[in-house]
């Protein structure tokens, strides 16, 4: 295998690619939210990661490629309510549309396509773990992530909390301990899909979904 250098977002420099397990490369790609037909902006990352995967396999790496579908989301719910159909009807329609477009672009299928709706119990377990370790807190059936509890928050982006807050579009909610705190679990509202949880019926916040599904299929470090 030839030496490969990749950009490390944490150190802000190119570094030699040294896999955790020799000869093995794991890829997790954040997939689409299926509320409409895919557009060219959707296609770009999937073409890119398909090329990266092909290159790694060409170099002899055993690649596991995981790509999710965020099939529980405000935009999906809004589209379903406007059309008077179920949220999963919208998801299935546009997931089919996604594959149709990707096939035309010759993008190979990932090995696993996890859906948020199929991993609710896993997501609940992750949220509970964050609560147990002091990173999450419960307010009226909602669960928020406390950004101040994680001392490395913002390190990947190279920004601190004050900088992020100054330029952010933040959901105003007086129940939050910090305006930058975000929802891990949202309590049930009329006209929305909901699942039972230790905090009452509700659904995941989109921040926690990929964290849970990536760990499930690729381990806590990949």
- DSSP-assigned beta bridge partners for residue 65: 27
- Within-domain flag for 110: yes
- Within-domain flag for 218: no
What tens digit of pLDDT does each residue of 79-131 get? 999 999 999 999 999 999 999 999 999 999 999 999 999 999 999 999 999 99
- 172 shares a domain with 105: no
Looking at residue 107, what DSSP letter applies? P
Task: Tell me if residue 94 falls in helix, strand or coil.
Answer: helix
Q: What share of the chain is helix, strand, coil (3-state, %, to 5)?
A: 40, 20, 45
Instruction: Name the nearest CA neighbour of 92 among 74, 112, 66, 117.
Output: 117
Non-local CB neighbours of 108 within 8 Å, separated by 6+ positions: 50, 53, 54
- 185 shares a domain with 166: yes
Taking 70 as the pLDDT cut, the residues of the chain under it are: 165-171
- Within-domain flag for 112: yes
- 79 shares a domain with 11: yes
Domain span including residue 144: 119-205
Provide the Cα torsion 98, 121, 153, 18; round to 10°: -70
Q: Which two tokens stand for residue 136?
A: 């999450």
- 93 shares a domain with 150: no
Instruction: Give the pLDDT confidence score for residue 202 in this predicted structure.
Output: 97
Instruction: Give the pLDDT confidence score for residue 169 in this predicted structure.
Output: 61
- Within-domain flag for 181: yes
- Within-domain flag for 46: yes
**N-term to C-term CA, the chain:** 19
Q: Which two tokens stand for residue 166?
A: 């100054």
- Within-domain flag for 37: yes
- 193 shares a domain with 148: yes
- 133 shares a domain with 187: yes
- Within-domain flag for 211: no
Q: How many domains does the chain have?
A: 2
Instruction: Give the pLDDT confidence score for residue 171 in this predicted structure.
Output: 65
* CB-CB contact of 123 with 209 (8 Å): yes
Rg (CA), the chain: 19
Looking at residue 149, what DSSP letter applies? G
């Amino acid at each position: 295998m030839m030496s490969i250098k990749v950009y490390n977002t944490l150190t802000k420099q190119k570094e030699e690619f040294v896999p955790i397990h020799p000869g093995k490369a794991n890829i997790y790609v954040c997939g689409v939210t299926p509320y409409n037909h895919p557009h060219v902006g959707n296609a770009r990352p999937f073409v890119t990661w398909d090329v990266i995967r092909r290159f790694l396999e060409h170099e002899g790496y055993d690649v596991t490629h995981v790509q999710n579908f965020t099939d529980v989301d405000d935009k999906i719910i809004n589209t379903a309510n406007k059309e008077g159909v179920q949220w999963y009807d919208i998801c299935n329609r546009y997931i089919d549309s996604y594959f149709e477009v990707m096939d035309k672009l010759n993008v190979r299928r990932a090995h696993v396509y996890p859906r948020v709706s199929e991993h609710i119990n896993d997501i609940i377990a992750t949220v509970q773990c964050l609560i147990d370790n002091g990173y999450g807190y419960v307010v009226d059936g909602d669960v928020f992530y406390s950004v101040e509890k994680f001392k490395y928050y913002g390190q990947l982006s190279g920004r601190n909390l004050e900088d992020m807050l100054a330029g952010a579009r933040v959901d105003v909610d007086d129940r939050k301990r910090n305006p930058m705190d975000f929802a891990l679990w949202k309590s049930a509202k009329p006209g929305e899909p909901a699942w039972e949880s230790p905090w009452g019926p509700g659904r995941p916040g989109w921040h926690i979904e990929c964290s849970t599904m990536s760990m499930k299929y690729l381990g806590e470090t990949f």
